Structure 1
Amino acid sequence: MTCMNPQIDAHGRLHHLLDLATLSVAALDALLQRAQAFADGAQAPAALAGQAVCTLFFEPSTRTRLSFQLAAQRLGAQILNFDASTASTTKGESDLDTFRNLQAMGVRGFVIRHKADGAVAALAQAAAPGVAVVNAGDGRSHHPSQGLLDMLTLRQAKGADFSNLKVVIVGDVKHSRVARSDLHALRKLGCGEIRVCGPQVLLPDAQTLHGCVVSHDFDAALDGVDAVMMLRLQRERMVEGLVESLEAYHRDYGLTETRLRRAAADAIVMHPGPLNRGIEITDEVADGPQSWILRQVANGVAVRMAVLETVLGR
């Protein structure tokens, strides 16, 4: 691996997927193109034959964990499912020792989720030669495969040229690793206008919002947008800045059918899940004709197949 970018090996190939911030546009585009091929029905059943992939999750997950497992299975890998609640970590074993023990068993692919910022990158630094690490979400920092599947969904809905797109990300951006990965990807793909909307206490620092149009008025932020990316309130990560009430939040930042009419007529609605129905989004919108939420879930398998094939399918 090079010192400049720990995701890239000495031959210039993607070896780990840790973030989208330092991923090149060419590498991002290649992953999206391969993911689209899988979404279109391309097969690669033996790409990871004989390899063991472990979903090493120190935090709960439904969509990410299961879609990575399904992706690895479709590529022919053996799958190990690590559950922190029943593992030796409950006896005091460190994350690093857990990682090293699994490597010693012959695991060569790790999909890792962790509550601490930077924890996945730190484990990747300890990876043995030939071992690949994929970040399945760390703290508030990165969720690269979610960012990729969101970009794939946008491409399917609006085409590969993002230069004329207006996209708004709404809600608890401060605590959202998904939002950060989406912002990195949207900038790299040349999105015409990126809007970010939410209460001041739920917006991140100015550096994170660089180049974005920031608003606290949801109705105004929706005007004419091509895509609305809703976020849930991540109350489990909040140590400060709690909203006044869930009712007040829904009143000011909940996406309803009436509000959605302010967006472009063919605007799509996205959400990384899990949904807090009746808080950030109503049933009518989540299940309505403009919702691409289940398409995002379906795209998650295709994207994660592309990622695993790229980092492990030598």
Structure 2
Amino acid sequence: MTPLDAKRPLQLNAQGQLQHFLSLDGLPRELLTEILDTADSFLEVGGRAVKKVPLLRGKTICNVFFENSTRTRTTFELAAQRLSADVITLNVSTSSASKGETLLDTLRNLEAMAADMFVVRHQDSGAPFFIANEVTPRVAVINAGDGRHAHPTQAMLDMYTIRHYKGGFAGLRVAIVGDILHSRVARSQIHALNILGAEEVRLIGPRTLLPTDVEQLGVTVFTDMAQGLKDVDVVIMLRLQKERMDSALLPSEGEFFRLYGLNNEKLRHARPDAIVMHPGPINRGVEIASEVADGPRSVILNQVTFGIAVRMAVMSMTISGQESSQNPDQGGDHGR
């Protein structure tokens, strides 16, 4: 058991509700399904004239991003605002942390502001687990991506997208393509797909971009794009994580696109009704061609829309789980 695994029980309270959301590994299928079902009820909020519900009115949520992000940070902000929470986004690059303040000192200062939730993105694997272990019991922690380890809300919005278009997970073959080695999203997707009952999870990429012993995660590995895409129902493309990559792992972007970039010719190996996904940001002409990214089988922009509803679901369930932990008799109705 790794140190990250050892801290996984932090996520659930005595009633089995979320009190932190740090990783999908080890969570029960029923809980992931509950997140998806709860997101269903929030999806229509985005179409209202007034895009708000009062579930987290009076709560304060701090977005604490030690690593750059636009899409994830913005969707968390929108999700919190639509739940009527007060939102503070900490710009760490100009904060005391950039002046040498420790992570623990930063945490204590945020606690002193009476925040109810920290949404944490950090370049080091395990940082959100550390924070959840150290934070005062009344504060919930959501992992918005840590190192190469996990990105659970991204994986759950991907699962929501798959369920929306495919109706469920039974019998599905899903291919995850590209830089698996450096991708925290891929790890969370693998856990989620296996928990939710997908028939087969395939990883496609060059051996230099695949983790050692990755088959132990319950996947089938392919290094040939045509073989790996044969008869799949869902294709998830991944961004090349060049900022985390030794250049020796990749001969050139052009060579990568030739072998593993998704174009219409390669997509013909998948099922005719296969959908194409990408967690973003997209590198056009590197991992995906514009003809596919903008094509009729792409659901990439819908992933962003669904992401707001999924993050609303996770936030509301986690706050409710924290409140139930402090007041066990109140029950678990997610404040609804």
- TM-score where L is the length of structure 1: 0.96
Letter in 1 for 2:141: V
After TM superposition, which residue ranges in structure 1, 4 or more long, deviate above 4 angstroms?
none
> Contact 1:166 / 1:225 at 8 angstroms: preserved in 2?
yes
Range 43-52 or range 214-223, more displaced:
43-52
- Out of 180, 200, 216, the position equivalent to 1:173 is 180
8 Å CA contact 1:172–1:233 kept in 2: the answer is yes
- Partners of 1:180 and 1:208 within 8 A in 2: no
Deviations 1:167-196 (Å, cap 9, x if unpaired)?
100000010000000000000011011111
SS in structure 2 of the partner of residue 79 of structure 1: strand
Q: Give the equivalent residue in structure 2 for 1:295.
A: 302
Q: Residues 209 and 229 (structure 1 numbering): CA distance in 2 closer, same or farther, change over 3 Å? A: farther
Pick from 11, 14, 17 the counterpart of residue 13 of structure 1. 17
Pairs aligned (count) = 312
Name the counterpart of 1:113: 121
In structure 2, distance between residues paired with 1:69 and 1:51: 13
Residue 98 of structure 2 aligns with which residue? 90
2:189 is aligned to 182
CA–CA separation in structure 1 for the residues paired with 2:102 and 2:283:
33
Change (3 A) 1:247 1:294: same
Structure 1 residue 129: deviation in Å? Answer: 1.6
Segment of structure 1 superposing worse, 209-218 or 110-119: 209-218
RMSD: 1.6
CA shift for structure 1 position 40: 3.6
Cα distance in 2 for residues equivalent to 1:212 and 1:171: 14
What SS does the aligned partner of 2:161 have?
helix
Give the residue type in structure 2 aligned to 1:122.
Answer: F
Q: Tell me the equivalent position of 1:126.
A: 134
Partner residue, 2:65: 57
Cα deviations by residue, 1:101-139 (Å, 9 ceiling, x for unpaired): 111110111100000010110011011021000000000
In structure 2, stretches of 5+ residues that fail to align are 1-5, 324-336
Cα displacement (A) at 1:207: 4.6
Instruction: List aligned pairs for 1:233-248, cutoff 5 A.
Output: 233-239=240-246, 241-248=248-255
Match of 1:223 in 2: 230
Matched with 1:213 is 220
Which of the two has greater helix per residue? Answer: 2
Q: Which TM-score applies when normalising by structure 2?
A: 0.90
For the residues of structure 2 that align with 1:293 and 1:72, how far apart are their CA atoms? 22
Aligned to 1:257: 264
Partner in structure 1 of residue 280 of structure 2: 273
Equivalent residue of 1:5, what SS?
helix
C-alpha separation between the residues in 2 aligned to 1:22 and 1:44?
33
After alignment, is 33-42 or 250-259 more displaced?
33-42
Q: Could you tell me how far 1:240 is from its partner in structure 2?
A: 6.5
Instruction: Pick the aligned partner of 2:290 from 269, 280, 283.
Output: 283
Letter in 2 for 1:294: L
Q: What's the % identity of the aligned pairs?
A: 49
170-179 vs 83-92, greater mean Cα deviation: 83-92
